[in-house]
Amino acid sequence: MEEFSATVSQRLKDVADGAKLIYTVPNQWKSQIILRHQVGNASAGSFFAGSTLVASATYVYESGGYWDLNTAEPNPMDTVSRLNVRFGVEADDWSLMINGQNITDEDYHSNHNATVSWWRVINPEYWSGQFKYHFGN
């Protein structure tokens, strides 16, 4: 039995000991690959001299867990997977990157109850751009 505070009733201890927590995802995996390739050399004098092409992809997988424990058979949560990407160019004084989140637009929902209340579990696909420039020496 886990340790409970002295103020917790024995009845609550009996119910809580070993109970599953709703909206807890016990299985989570994340993998990432990053590729970097230098373009030219720094002494060439062009805008792209000494810059680096960058590409990365991150895959996230989550499974298990329950969204409802009120029934005799707990209702399992959906398995969630998503792919995020980032690519662009980095230089000493600037960088230009394109970011994509959930690019396969996986759409997972959880049903709250019999009245059909729904939540979106993960964000929809979206893309963004980022430009950074360092002023000064």
Residue 51, judged by CB atoms within 10 A of its CB (0-12, 13-18, 19+), counts as buried
Residue 38 domain-assigned? yes
For residue 12, the SS3 value is: helix
Per the structure, the count of domains in the chain is 1
Residue 121 domain-assigned? yes
pLDDT at 57 over 90: yes
Residue 5 domain-assigned? no
Residue 1 domain-assigned? no
Interval 1-44: pLDDT, tens = 456 677 777 776 666 666 777 777 889 999 999 999 988 666 65
State the pTM of this model. 0.68
How far apart CA 41 and CA 29 sit, in angstroms, is 38
Residue 4 domain-assigned? no
Domain assignment of residue 74, given as a range: 24-133
DSSP E strand stretches across the chain: 27-39, 51-63, 66-68, 75-76, 80-90, 94-101, 109-111, 118-120, 126-133
Given this model, what pLDDT does residue 93 score? Answer: 83
Given this model, what pLDDT does residue 70 score? Answer: 65
Interval 73-104: pLDDT, tens = 777 777 888 999 999 999 888 899 999 999 99
